[in-house]
A and B are shown apart, each in its own frame.
Chain A
Amino acid sequence: MGTINISKKYTAKQKSYIPAILVGMKITMKRFIQGFFFRKHDTIMYPEVRRKYSDRFRGMHFISVDPAKTENCTACFLCETICPAQCIHIVADERDEDENPYGVKKEKKPVSFDIDALRCCFCGFCEEACPKDAIKLSGNYELAVSSREEAFYDLDHLKRPMNGRNEK
Chain B
Amino acid sequence: MFDLAMMMAKILVILGCTLGVVPFLVWFERRGAAWMQGRVGPNRVGPFGLLQSLADVLKFMFKETFVPAKANKFFYLMAPIIALIAPMCALSVIPFGSKVIVNGQEVFLQIAQMDTGVIFILAFAGLEVYPIILAGWSSRNKYSVLGALRGSSQIVSYEISMGLALLSMLIVFGSFNPYDMVAWQKETLFGFLPRWGAFVNPFGALVFWIATFAETNRLPFDLPEGESELVAGYHVEYGGMKFAAFFMAEYVAMIMASSLLVTLFFGGFNMFPGMGMLVDLVVNQFQFGAVGLQNTTAFFEFASFFTKVAFFMFVMIWIRWTLPRFRFDQLMDLGWKVLFPLSLINLVVVTIGVYYFNS
The chain A residues found within 8 Å of chain B, CB to CB, are 21, 24-25, 27-29, 31-32, 34-36, 40-43, 45
Decide if A32 touches B36 in the complex (CB within 8 Å).
yes
Decide if A42 touches B38 in the complex (CB within 8 Å).
yes
Minimal beta-carbon separation of A44 from chain B (angstroms): 8
Assembled-state Cα–Cα distance A24/B36 (Å): 11
Most buried by B among A24, A34, A35: A35
Starting from the known contacts A31-B38, A41-B34, A43-B38, 11 additional A-B residue pairs (CB-CB under 8 Å) come to: A27-B322, A28-B36, A28-B322, A29-B318, A31-B36, A32-B32, A32-B35, A35-B34, A35-B38, A42-B39, A45-B40
Q: Mark B12-54, 1 if CB is under 8 A from A, else 0.
A: 0000000000000000000010111111100000000000000
Q: What is the total number of residues of chain B having a CB less than 8 Å from a CB of chain A?
A: 13
Decide if B323 touches A43 in the complex (CB within 8 Å).
no
Q: Is B319 an interface residue (CB 8 A)?
A: yes
B34 proximity list for chain A (CB < 8 A): 35, 41
Task: State whether A24 and B40 are in contact (beta carbons under 8 Å apart), knowing that A35-B34, A35-B35, A36-B35 are contacts in the complex.
Answer: no
Choose among B32, B35, B38, B323 the residue that contacts A24 (Cβ–Cβ < 8 A): B323
9 A-B pairs closest in CB distance: A35-B35, A42-B38, A28-B322, A24-B322, A28-B36, A31-B36, A43-B39, A32-B36, A32-B35
Assembled-state Cα–Cα distance A35/B34 (Å): 8
Assembled-state Cα–Cα distance A45/B34 (Å): 13
Q: Is B321 an interface residue (CB 8 A)?
A: yes
Identity of the chain B residue whose Cβ is nearest the Cβ of A17 in the assembled complex: B334
Decide if A25 touches B322 in the complex (CB within 8 Å).
yes
Q: Mark B310-339, 1 if CB is under 8 A from A, else 0.
A: 000000001101110000000000000000
Assembled-state Cα–Cα distance A45/B32 (Å): 17
Most buried by B among A21, A24, A28: A28
Most buried by A among B37, B318, B322: B322
Decide if A25 touches B40 in the complex (CB within 8 Å).
no
What are 17 residue pairs bridging A and B, where the CB atoms are less than 8 Å apart in the complex? A21-B319, A21-B322, A24-B322, A27-B322, A28-B318, A28-B321, A31-B36, A31-B37, A34-B35, A34-B38, A35-B36, A35-B39, A40-B38, A41-B40, A42-B38, A42-B39, A43-B40
Decide if A25 touches B38 in the complex (CB within 8 Å).
no
Decide if B318 touches A25 in the complex (CB within 8 Å).
yes
Choose among A25, A40, A42 the residue that contacts B319 (Cβ–Cβ < 8 A): A25
Assembled-state Cα–Cα distance A43/B33 (Å): 13
Assembled-state Cα–Cα distance A25/B220 (Å): 13
Identity of the chain B residue whose Cβ is nearest the Cβ of A30 in the assembled complex: B36
B323 proximity list for chain A (CB < 8 A): 21, 24
B319 proximity list for chain A (CB < 8 A): 21, 25
B32 proximity list for chain A (CB < 8 A): 32
Assembled-state Cα–Cα distance A24/B324 (Å): 10
Decide if B318 touches A32 in the complex (CB within 8 Å).
yes
A35 proximity list for chain B (CB < 8 A): 34-36, 38-39
Assembled-state Cα–Cα distance A42/B321 (Å): 17
Assembled-state Cα–Cα distance A32/B41 (Å): 12
B318 proximity list for chain A (CB < 8 A): 25, 28-29, 32
Identity of the chain A residue whose Cβ is nearest the Cβ of B35 in the assembled complex: A35
B38 proximity list for chain A (CB < 8 A): 31, 34-35, 40-43
Assembled-state Cα–Cα distance A31/B36 (Å): 5
B321 proximity list for chain A (CB < 8 A): 28
A32 proximity list for chain B (CB < 8 A): 32, 35-36, 318
Assembled-state Cα–Cα distance A96/B117 (Å): 96
Assembled-state Cα–Cα distance A42/B34 (Å): 10
A36 proximity list for chain B (CB < 8 A): 35
Minimal beta-carbon separation of A18 from chain B (angstroms): 9
Assembled-state Cα–Cα distance A29/B32 (Å): 10
